[in-house]
Structures are given as C-alpha cells and as structure tokens.
Amino acid sequence: MSRRKRITMHDHAAEASLFKRRALFTFFCVVALLSVLLANLYQLQVLSYKDYETRSNDNRIRVVPVAPSRGLVYDRHGKLLAENQPFYSLELIPEKVKDMSATLDALDAYVHISADERESFLEALKHHRRFKPLTLKSRLTEQEVAIFSVNQYQFPGISVEAGLRRHYPYDSVLTHVLGYVGKINTRDRTALERTDQWKNYPATKDIGKQGIEKFYEPQLHGLPGHLEEEVNNRGRIIRTLKVVPPEPGQDIYLTLDLKLQQKAVALLAGRRGSIVAIDPRDGGILAMVSSPSYDPNHFVHGISSKDYSALLNDKSRPLINRATQGQYAPASTVKPLIALLGLEEKAITEKTRIWDPGFWQIPGVERKYRDWRRWGHGWVNVYSAITESCDIFFYDLAYKIGVDNMSRFMEPFGFGQVSGVDIAEESAGNMPSKDWKRLKYNQPWYIGDTISVGIGQGYWTTTPLQLANATAILANRGRRFTPHLLKAMQTQDADVALDERPPIVLDNPHNWEVINEAMRMTANKSRFTDARYTAAMKTGTAQVFSVAEDARYDAKTIDERLRDNALIVAYAPFEQPRIVIAMVLENAGWGGANAGPIARELLDEYMLRDTEEPAL
C-alpha cells in the first residue's frame, strides 16, 4: 500500500503581514535610536556648546591671579606712615634641579640658607608640582641679590624674583594705631569665606591683622587681576593671551598728627603707660600711644617663635594697646564730672561749702575715709574741691547722689562702653551700678562701694581713650563725636562724614561753665601758670592696691608694680579747645608731679608751633 506525501500549504498573506509588522517595528527602532543620537548631538553641539568649549579651553588656558598692591596710609598732613617696599625672594623650579641636596649645599656659599629655611623648603617640596616655582628664601639683601646674580649661571632653575611687601618706616612709633599685616592663616581664611571676600584673595598672601590695617582691610586690599596663559598638556606656559591688571587698594589719610605722635612716644620712652590726644572739634584722634611698643615689621615677614614668645611673655605687655585696652581706675580725673552731676542733681551749688578735717565718715559708721592730705583742706566749695582735689568733698557728694545716679549720668560720656573708634582692639571698661554688682558677683551693693566710686576708684575702670573722649565732651559743653582715626580716602574728594552724636543737654547749662572754670583754675595754679596759652586740666593718682585704714602709703617700701598710677586730663586753649589729652603712667606715683610735666610738654608741642600745618 503506497504512502501518500503530505503537502503543506503556506499562507502568504499572513507571512506578508508578519514581515511587514517586523519591518515596521525595526524601522521605528532605528528611527528612535537615530533620534536619540541626533538629540544628544544637538545637546552637545548646540545647547551645551559654551560649557564644553569652556572645559576644553580650561585644559589649554590657565588663569593666573595677580595680587593688587596695598593702599598706602598717610597722616593728616600727607606724611607716609605705611608703604609698600620691593623685596627679593629666591625661587626654585624643582624639575630643573638634578641634585637638590648638592645644589642647596653649593648655593649656601653665596646665599645663606638657614636650617629652618631649608627644612621648611624641603617639606613644602613634597607637596609641590615640580614644574612650578617654589620659594626657597623669602628675604634677600641687596648684597645677596648681587652675589647670586653674578653666579646664577651655576644654578639652572633658580632665580631671583621681585615683589612688594608692607613696610612701616616709623617702626614702633605707630604700631598700636596702624597694626600690621601678616600671612593669611586658617582663621583669616574662614573669616573671609563668611563675608564672601575670599574671591578677592586668590593671589594675596598677607592680610591686616590689627589696628587700621585690619579695620580697613577691604579698602586697603584692592581687587585682584589675572593673566590668561596658554599651556600645553603638561601645564607649561606657551604664551600669554590676556592681561587684566589688578585694581590697587585705596590710599587712606588718618587724623593723626605724626609730629605730635612722635613727641608723645619720646615723652613716654622707658615708661609703661598711654597718651591719647583728640581734636574736640570733630573727634579726630591726633595721637594714640601705648608704651612699651614693638616693631610691626617683624610680623610682616613672619616673626620667629622665639621672638614672638619673648613679646608674649614680656611682663610689660607690649602687645596690649593700653590706649584702648588698658583698664585703669580714673581716680581724681573724673571729679569734675562727679561735681557736674552734683550741680545738676542740686545736691550742691556753687556756694555749697563743707568742712574737711582730713577724714569723712558714713553717718552711724566708725570707719574713717581719709583725704589725701592728712590734715584736711578746711572749708571747701566746688571750685576749691576740684583745684585741690579734695576727697572729702566727693565722699560726701557720692553719698548724697548714689551710685546708680552716677552710673546713669556717666553713660552718655562714654564710660562702661566701647567708644566706636575705628580699630577693633578696644575694651569697654566698667561703669559700676547696684545691678551690675549683683549680676557680676551675686553680692549686694554697699555704701562703701559708692564712696570709692565717688573719687574714681573701686569698681570704676576706664581706658585712656574713654577718658580723653569724656574730657572732650566736657570741654565742648556737651557736644560729642565718635572718636575716629580715618580722615579721608583716596577716592573721596571730601572728608569722611563725621559721626556727631546727640549732645548732652543739662537742665542748667551754666553748670558747664562752673566745672570748666574750676579746671582752668587748676591749670593756672600748677603746670600752666607761665604758658603762652590758656589751658584746663585735672590730675589723678589711682591706687593699684588698697591700703589699710590706719596704714600709710609708702612707695619706697612696696613693689614697683604696686605703686600708684599717675593720670592727667587737659585741654587747650580754654576758650575754644583744639586739643584734649588724657594720660596714664603706670606705677609712676603722684599724678600732678609725674604726669603734669609731660602734659605741659605735649601741649606746648601742639600749641606753640610757628604755623599750623595745613591738614589734607
């Protein structure tokens, strides 16, 4: 029986339909992929063109920041106080030096490289790119520059580079006013980043650390420039494409009078203390001296640990600005202000008289508060109490008016608060009150505390700047300004706007005249009897430690640093004051005998000039 062959019939229509669907699907997949490719090409070539062009240029164009030159500082007469001087450094490109150790040894024969400099250089070399220059020695003398230049052919890869660095031509005379610049550290970097100023310091190595240099850092620094350099794939320079010069910092003019400053420094030579002189007509500081001082140029190039430790551990504390940070009992220099308060409160009048037998007692208390003159002054009024500095008169007055009234009245004169002067290093001092003592010590206020405050002792402390400012307000009959050092800037045609505060207004304006007349009488009675100008003054002698009630103070038998401080405030001319001074001499003893002669010399220097130099 024969087997029949099975015949399979194809459905051509179905196969054609399937093929068509598969081809259509494949076509759409190709179109989709081509669309994605074209979209990516559009994104790269059109939308992101600028971004990738910049990235490409970054691989061949290097932007090198250029530091601006720092603004200069002048006194009120245009005398240069802080300048920029050229300096020379020794730069080395590591890849061009075959044997580093041998090269450094050979170089030492011409330019001395200290062990510290060598160690510092080798440590920095570990983290440095070999084709970039690295500083080997930062300060070269002219002799070293000359010697190396003659022998430079022996040292491929080593060269002398020039730059500008801050210099203070008057050394220690202006240190506590100008401050200094120093290398930017981590703390400086953090502070700059907080104020968004770090973008202005890409090539700057130094920054203001203290004084005017720190306070006016943004103005003095300027704005950086840059170079655009074409480099190869190894980072080496091929050519310079563009130069954008930096914008130098602004020059600034201070209210300081350099001659007066130098005179004050000379008068304080070998002493610990401070002198502040203010122009009461606008609050401009004419002189600000803190003694002893130090040379700020040592900090510019980096002071050694040994030298800094010597300054830090010096018992005379040269790093402290005594003019704004030293806190002293004002002693009798504030008696005129206490008397002014007494007149305003009607606790006394011009005709009030009290008997001074040499001591005073709180009613019902046996303790006796002694006068500086053991036998007393007899009958005294407000004039004689100030001219004779009678403690008994002010013990009694302080008892009558109370410490809170004194604290309230002294606040507008600037005691117990920072003055607002344009340097950051300033202390507020202390103007005590009952609430202050409770908060500070959790103790009640005693009437004996009030008696001490009444003669400028006890818890009352002030800075020389505060004392000068308060005296200027008194001389101005209540008109007051914020003490300041800045007079003008390079970019300003006019002077800096004055910060004049609301005046102190008394119920009886005649009281200003009473107190100022008493200070004029004090000057005429002692140091200014033969002066060719009229002056007003008040001296003070502040105890550094307490003496027992019946004990007698003897400077010869106690440690020198426990002796009394000598103080004085003065102004001239009396009719229209042009200068106010405040002075503190640490452990110098009697104020009138020790501070008085210095005050006279200083006022003579300012008042008796042949012609007053025109201020800028």
* Residue ranges at the known binding site for Zn(2+): 356, 371, 377, 390
Instruction: Quote the strand ranges of 283-367, DSSP E.
Output: 284-291, 354-356, 359-361
- Token pair, residue 457, equals 């002792």
Helix and strand tally (H, E) in the chain?
A: 22, 22
What lies within 8 Å, CB to CB, of 524 at 6+ separation is: none
Contacts of 171 (CB under 8 A, 6+ apart): 295, 296, 297
Alpha carbons 211 and 296: distance in angstroms, whole number: 11
Give one DSSP letter per residue of 422-459, joined into a string.
SSS-----B---HHHHHHHHS----HHHHHHHTTT-TT
Distance CA 459, CA 471 (A): 20
Residue 83: closest CA among 203, 252, 292: 252
Distance, CA of 218 to CA of 192 (rounded, Å): 10
What is d(CA 545, CA 441) in angstroms, rounded to the nearest whole number?
20
Instruction: Point out which residues pair with 328 in neighbouring strands.
Output: 462
Q: Extract the annotated binding site.
A: 356, 371, 377, 390
Tokens 């004085």 belong to residue: 568
- Whether the CB-CB separation of 512 and 344 falls below 8 Å is answered with no
The tokens describing 253, both together, are: 């003019």
- CA atoms of 36 and 411, how far apart (whole Å): 76
What gap in Å lies between CA 86 and CA 81, rounded to an integer? 16
Cα dist from 145 to 90, 148, 163, 369, 426, whole Å:
9, 5, 13, 71, 43
Task: Please enumerate in sequence order all residues whose Cβ is within 8 A of that of 60, keeping only pairs 6 or more positions apart, or say none.
Answer: 230, 231, 232
Strands annotated E in 342-491: 354-356, 359-361, 368-370, 378-380, 480-481, 486-489
The catalytic residue among 332, 389, 407, 452 is: 332
CA nearest to 113, candidates 155, 167, 150:
155
Verify whether residue 291 is a known catalytic residue. Answer: no
In degrees rounded to 5, what are phi and psi of residue 398? -65, -40
Which residue has tokens 């070293």?
144
Catalytic residues: 332
